[in-house]
Amino acid sequence: MVYDIPAPMLAKSVPAVPDPDLTDCGLSFEPKWDGFRAIVAWDGSDVVIGSRGSKPLTRYFPELVDAFSRLLPEPCLLDGEIVVARDDGDGRRLQWEALSQRIHPAASRVALLSEQTPAMFIAFDLLARGERDLLAEPFAVRRAELVDLLRAVPDPIHVTRATDDVETARRWLAEFEGAGLDGVVAKPLAAPYAPGKRAMYKIKHARTADVVAIGYRIHKSGSGVGSLLVGLFDEDGDLHGVGGVAAWSDKRRLDLVDELQPLVERDADGAAITGESDRSRFAASKDVSFVRLRPERVLEVRYDQLEGRRFRHTVQFERWRPDRDARSCTFDQLETVVAYDLADVLD
The residues annotated as belonging to the active site are: 32
CA distances from 346 to 260, 339, 340, 342 (A): 47, 15, 11, 6
Cis peptide before 15 (omega within 30 of 0): no
DSSP string, 216-273: EEEPTTSSSEEEEEEEEE-TTS-EEEEEEE----HHHHHHHHHHHGGGB-B-TTSPBP
Distance, CA of 187 to CA of 139 (rounded, Å) = 8
Q: Tell me the residue type at 99.
A: L
Other beta carbons within 10 angstroms of residue 62's beta carbon come to 18
- CB-side neighbour CA atoms (13 Å) of 249: 3
DSSP 8-state symbol, 323? T
Longest dimension (CA), the chain: 67
Q: Which of 156, 87, 154, 153 is nearest to 119 (CA)?
A: 156
In single-letter form, the type of residue at position 332 comes to D
Please check whether residue 296 is in contact with residue 326, taking contact to mean a CB–CB distance below 8 angstroms: yes
Nearest to 55 by CA among 323, 340, 331: 323
User: DSSP alpha helices (H): ranges in 40-163?
Assistant: 62-71, 96-100, 107-116, 139-150
